[in-house]
Structures are given as structure tokens and as C-alpha cells.
Amino acid sequence: MRKIVIAGNWKMYKTQAEALEFLLGFTTLVNEAPDEREIVLCGPFTALGTLSKNLHGSRIRIGAQNIHWEESGAYTGEISGPMLTEYSIRYVVVGHSERRQYFGETDETVNLRLKAAQRHGLTPILCVGETKEQRDAGETESLIMMQLEKDLVGVDQTQLVIAYEPIWAIGTGETCESSEANRVIGLIRSQLTHADVPIQYGGSVKPGNIDEIMAQPEIDGALVGGASLEPESFARIVNYVA
Ligand code: 13P
């Protein structure tokens, strides 16, 4: 059976104090969530220590937002596997569109980061998705197929989560129709060699649309930006009504 993974991507939000305040509200609100739902908070690097210390023994998993492929070296501004695994981190977001768009991430570096994450026992959350222009030009399918083909070379699909995040739906309030997200996610699954890879939808997921999104048969979870910043809204997403 495929795992359900509901992950919050905090992006460049939350100081340590703010992360702690979030946890105070959030942890009790998700106590009753069904056991088979994996709850993940992907914080900025500086909040990982606070998350790790305060989530010890909790069911809530911690994720990072990037990982370099070398163990150490002259790579100013990067972070390595051993630096992340010092904290009890299970997941790492790789290839987010914001990194591809603004920080020169390519399919080649995404592939190196995915393999590095797995070498260190972390489960990468690989993000794929098209721009508005690519969608309008009818290139959605071919673009995503190409991303998967390049990104997944040598990657162990038994230790992987994929997030379909149409770029035009990120932070815009413009959610992809859940049936369309379901279709693209089905297409992604048809390209995989391992049938049980959890595939999330991401892009303007909110308390008001999560139930409908999770009702889609191909969708195994969500990668949530803005709505993961407030304890009440992210808890409502985790506690979606099936
Ligand atoms: P929003 O939920 O803010 O649209 O962000 C989605 C996202 O990029 C998650 O990684």
C-alpha cells in the first residue's frame, strides 16, 4: 500500500522562536490524525535543531530543503548529508521549482542531490512541474517525462517521494483542478519502476481544498507552502476528511 505523506515546506520562513511557537500549537492538533499519515515539517536549516530537539519521540518527521552531493568541501552556502543527519531528519526536498528558477538548479544537480540524500539514509521529495507557458504550449507531459528521466538516473525508487507541483499554482491561489492533478500524477506513476512511490500534489493547497485533493485516487499526499505556516491551517490539512 502506498504511504500518505503530508509535508509542510516552510521555505525561507520561521526563526527558531517562531518554529517553536508553531510546534506548541500544532502538535496537539494532529494527535488524532490516522497513523498511516506521515506528517513532515521541512524547516529552514537554522530551525532544524529546534525542530529536532522538540520533536524527539513525536510522530512528526523533520525534513530539510536542500542537500549538497559532497560530504564536505569548498561550497559556500551549501549543506551536506552529514550536517543534516546530525539532526534526526528523515526527508529532504530536492529540485523545488524555486531552486530551479532562482538558483540555477538543473536536472543534473537534482540527480546528484537525490543520490546524496539516499546515500545518507534520507528520503528525498523530488519536485517536478511545468510553468504556465509550458502548460499553454501543451508541453506539460513531455516536460515532466524529461524531468523524471534525467532526475531519476541511479535513484532508488523504494526510498523516494515525488511532488507534482505545477509552477503556476505555487503561491498564486490558483490550484490545479484536482482531476487534472490526478491525471498528471497517474502519468508520473506510469513512468516509475516502483509502483508504491508516494506522489504528492503541491500548489495552493489549503484547508478548503485538501479533502477534494485527497479524494483523488492517484494523489498520496500534499506538499504545502503558505498554508503550512499556521498551526491551525496545516493541522486541518493533515486532518483532511477522507
Ligand atoms: P504554496 O502552497 O504556498 O502554493 O506552495 C507550494 C509549494 O511550493 C510547496 O513546496
Rounded Cα distance, 23 and 59, in Å: 12
* Cell output for 38: 506521515
Q: Is the distance from the beta carbon of residue 213 to the nearest atom of ligand 1 less than 6 Å?
A: no
- pLDDT per residue of the chain (242 residues) written in tens, 0 to 9: 899 999 999 999 999 999 999 999 999 999 999 999 999 999 999 999 999 999 999 999 999 999 999 999 999 999 999 999 999 999 999 999 999 999 999 999 999 999 999 999 999 999 999 999 999 999 999 999 999 999 999 999 999 999 999 999 999 988 899 999 999 999 999 999 999 999 999 999 999 999 999 999 999 999 999 999 999 999 999 999 99
- Cβ(220)–Cβ(198) below 8 Å: yes
- 8-state DSSP, 158: G
Q: What is the CATH number of the domain that holds 190?
A: 3.20.20.70
Q: Which residue lies with its CA nearest to atom 2 of ligand 1?
A: 225
Specify the pTM: 0.98
Rounded Cα distance, 51 and 56, in Å: 8
pLDDT at residue 174, as a whole number: 84
Residue 59's domain comprises 4-238
pLDDT at residue 7, as a whole number: 98
96 among known catalytic residues: yes
Q: Is the distance from the beta carbon of residue 171 to the nearest atom of ligand 1 less than 6 Å?
A: yes
* Residue in 143, 148, 151 with CA at minimum distance from that of residue 111: 151
Structural domain total, the chain: 1
Tell me the torsion sign for CA atoms 193, 129, 240, 177: negative
* Cell output for 76: 559556500
Residue labelled with grid coordinates 539514509: 121
Locate the ligand 1 atom nearest the alpha carbon of residue 171 and give its number.
4
- 8-state DSSP, 87: T
* Cell output for 195: 509502483
Q: Among residues 38, 68, 96, 218, which one is catalytic?
A: 96
Ligand 1 centroid from CA 125, angstroms: 13
pLDDT at residue 30, as a whole number: 98
pLDDT at residue 183, as a whole number: 98
Rounded Cα distance, 148 and 91, in Å: 19
Locate the ligand 1 atom nearest the alpha carbon of residue 169 and give its number.
4
Rounded Cα distance, 210 and 98, in Å: 23
pLDDT at residue 166, as a whole number: 97
Q: Which residue lies with its CA nearest to atom 5 of ligand 1?
A: 225
* Cell output for 198: 508516494
